[in-house]
């Protein structure tokens, strides 16, 4: 077995929350026992509702935030502590694309200076080589030479995101973490950026973590998908297989909720209620208060992420083995996993 480019082993991230000046801090577990393995040149999509821990997971695997427990390995070696000299050198090979392109750019600097900044920080190449690299990347992401001296506020949303992408790629990274990179863009621009990412990945051999709540976008760009709920991975598998045969009730609801032309809202399986407060997690499976298939065991035992054969991993007491989730429509109206419509490859 080859050494993966990136591996996370049982990472957790806990934030301390103070309810009052003298009150005892309460720990909020934003990420809980998450393990990931990413081979070189692969793309892993991470999906889930807001507050599921997707973005925090992305920051932890990059070392932008330290893990409260567990470890992150890059090329088989434990990642150096944040802001240490070794970590700074490693950051040249790991870049991130943020959700808000305008917030990620310095409004006081022209585009060319911002794209060149990583080269200046790491001292890569001569001044002429840096300028040539900036021109090459701006052209690669579909921007004309006329934008080099323009400022972020003078660009459209799609142009800003292309600038952010060019800056992330200018140091020739091995790993790219995309945190909701198209959620702030119009649908037509979303398609352009996603297609651009796919083309650049194929051309440059990039390894990517693609974080989004939009299942259609994630399916288009990812080979493998991990579904998160309240800080934990509840299902993981190959993209097409997971969309055609979702096993976890939460995954099935997400897939059913994806808009499909011609399907009525009444035909979708909508999740009821809101995700629980992370500071007051339910006992047992965190999803059981919203799950129409929950059994008594779901309220007491936390399910482990187990293999169902092949590349499919599921953390659910009722998904593995004989259960209502596999034996036809239930009283809740959720169809069997194989009957999800409109999402065949």
Please give the model's pTM, rounded to 2 decimal places: 0.85
pLDDT-wise least confident of 46-50, 138-142, 237-241? 138-142
Q: What's the confidence (pLDDT) of residue 327?
A: 32
Write out pLDDT tens, residues 244-275: 899 999 998 888 877 665 566 555 666 777 78
Asked if 208 and 43 touch (Cβ cutoff 8 Å), the reply is yes
Question: 224 pairs with which residues across the strands?
Answer: 44, 238
288-299 residues labelled b (16+ CB within 10 A) or e (exposed):
bbbbbbbeeebe
Give phi and psi for 72, each to the nearest 5.
Answer: -115, 130
Radius of gyration of the chain (CA): 21
Task: Return d(Cα 252, Cα 245) in angstroms, integer.
Answer: 8
> With DSSP H G I counted as helix, E B as strand and the rest as coil, what are the percentages for the chain, rounded to 5?
35, 20, 45
Task: Return d(Cα 342, Cα 328) in angstroms, integer.
Answer: 18
Q: What's the confidence (pLDDT) of residue 109?
A: 92
Give phi and psi for 62, each to the nearest 5.
Answer: -85, -10
Q: What's the confidence (pLDDT) of residue 341?
A: 35
Write out pLDDT tens, residues 161-211: 889 989 998 888 999 999 988 877 777 778 888 888 888 888 888 899 999
Write out pLDDT tens, residues 289-321: 988 888 999 999 999 999 887 789 999 998 754
Write out pLDDT tens, residues 4-63: 999 999 999 998 877 766 667 778 889 999 999 999 999 999 999 888 899 999 999 999
Mean pLDDT in the chain?
Answer: 83
pLDDT-wise least confident of 95-104, 222-231, 312-321, 332-341? 332-341
Q: Between β-strands 232-238 and 224-229, what pairing exists: parallel, antiparallel or unpaired?
A: antiparallel
């Amino acid at each position: 077995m080859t050494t993966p480019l990136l591996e996370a082993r049982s990472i957790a991230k806990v934030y301390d929350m103070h309810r009052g000046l003298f009150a005892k801090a309460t720990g909020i577990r934003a990420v809980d026992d998450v393990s990931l393995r990413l081979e070189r040149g692969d793309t892993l999509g991470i999906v889930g509702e807001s507050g599921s821990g997707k973005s925090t997971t992305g920051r932890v695997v990059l070392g932008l935030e330290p893990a409260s427990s567990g470890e992150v390995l890059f090329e088989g070696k434990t990642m150096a502590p944040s802001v240490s000299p070794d970590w700074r050198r490693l950051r040249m090979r790991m870049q991130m694309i943020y959700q808000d392109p305008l917030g990620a750019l310095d409004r006081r600097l022209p585009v060319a200076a911002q794209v060149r900044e990583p080269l200046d920080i790491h001292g890569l190449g001569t001044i002429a080589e840096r300028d040539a690299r900036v021109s090459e990347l701006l052209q690669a992401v579909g921007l004309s030479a006329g934008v080099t001296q323009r400022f972020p506020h003078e660009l459209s949303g799609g142009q800003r995101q292309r600038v952010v992408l060019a800056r992330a790629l200018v140091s020739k990274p091995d790993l790219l973490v995309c945190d909701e990179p198209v959620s702030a863009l119009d649908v037509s621009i979303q398609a352009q950026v996603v297609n651009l990412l796919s083309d650049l990945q194929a051309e440059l051999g990039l390894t990517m973590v693609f974080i989004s709540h939009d299942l259609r976008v994630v399916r288009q760009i990812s080979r493998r998908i991990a579904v998160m709920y309240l800080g934990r991975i509840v299902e993981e598998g190959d993209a097409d297989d997971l969309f055609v045969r979702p096993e976890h009730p939460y995954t099935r609801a997400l897939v059913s909720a994806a808009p499909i032309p011609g399907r009525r809202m009444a035909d979708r399986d909508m999740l009821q209620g809101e995700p629980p407060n992370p500071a007051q997690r339910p006992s047992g499976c965190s999803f059981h208060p919203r799950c129409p298939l929950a059994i008594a065991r779901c309220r007491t035992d936390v399910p482990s992420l187990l293999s169902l054969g092949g590349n499919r991993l599921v953390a659910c007491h009722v998904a593995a083995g004989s259960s209502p989730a596999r034996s036809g429509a239930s009283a809740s109206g959720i169809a069997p996993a194989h009957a999800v419509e409109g999402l065949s490859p």
